Homo-oligomer: A and B are copies of this chain.
Amino acid sequence: MRRRTQGVLGGRSDRVVRRVLDAALGELARSGYAGLRMDEVASVAAVNKTTIYRRWPSRAALVTALVDRMRTPLRESPLPDTGRLESDLLEAFARRFTVGREVAGRAWARLLDERFNPEVEAIIGAAVETRRGEWRAMVTRAIDRGELPPGTDAQLVLDLVRAIVDARGAARRMDRTWLTLAVRTVLAGARAGTLRRGRQPRPRRRG
């Protein structure tokens, strides 16, 4: 039997896929996940709603596919390794907001904002999880270089930076200033030994 012409750019199907994903991207950036109306996507894509549902059984599936496509270029380039953790972190995080076009950045920010939503969390989680090891390695290298005290919890460092960065959602646009602040503050904490693995940090009186 004839297979779907996936991958053969220019086929009827692929044209539809591209148009739907493009439309979905725009709608996601505009209205966020919760506000994304399938009818609207269909109409913008100049495609029937049924067509969308035939290929992606739910909104979650559609957005998952979209995120996957968004992150494709990202997936191909390795994480930065500048020899200095601060620069590595700055660059690595900055990339998250400049995936491809401007729209994609906004769409991703909207998703982050809605990460409380189990569906969204699953989507983001799946996308991020794959590179967790690489990210951790980035921090570990810094520890080995002596930039951070031995015993520092690499994952914790990342979690903290992410927590701060993600706090800046769609409303207030992510900017370099905030990102820098997040990275420097967390690194200062780590250097002060606040982020050792396992044991509770003891209170430190100011000197």
Contact = CB atoms under 8 A, between A and B. Distances in A.
Given A163-B163, A164-B164, A192-B192, A184 B170 contact: no
Given A34-B34, A184-B194, A160 B164 contact: yes
Given A195-B181, A200-B180, A206-B147, A116 B170 contact: yes
Nearest to A201: B184
A48 interface: no
Give this chain's copy count.
Answer: 2
A185 interface: yes
Contacts of A171: 121
Interface of A: 32, 34, 86, 113-114, 116-117, 121, 146-147, 156, 159-160, 162-164, 166-171, 177, 180-182, 184-186, 188-192, 194-195, 200-201, 203-204, 206
Contacts of A200: 177, 180
A98 to B, nearest CB: 21
Given A34-B117, A167-B166, A170-B116, A188 B192 contact: yes
A206 B191 contact: yes
19 contacts: A116-B170, A156-B181, A160-B182, A160-B185, A163-B163, A164-B164, A167-B167, A177-B200, A180-B200, A180-B201, A181-B194, A184-B203, A184-B204, A185-B185, A185-B195, A188-B189, A188-B192, A189-B189, A191-B206
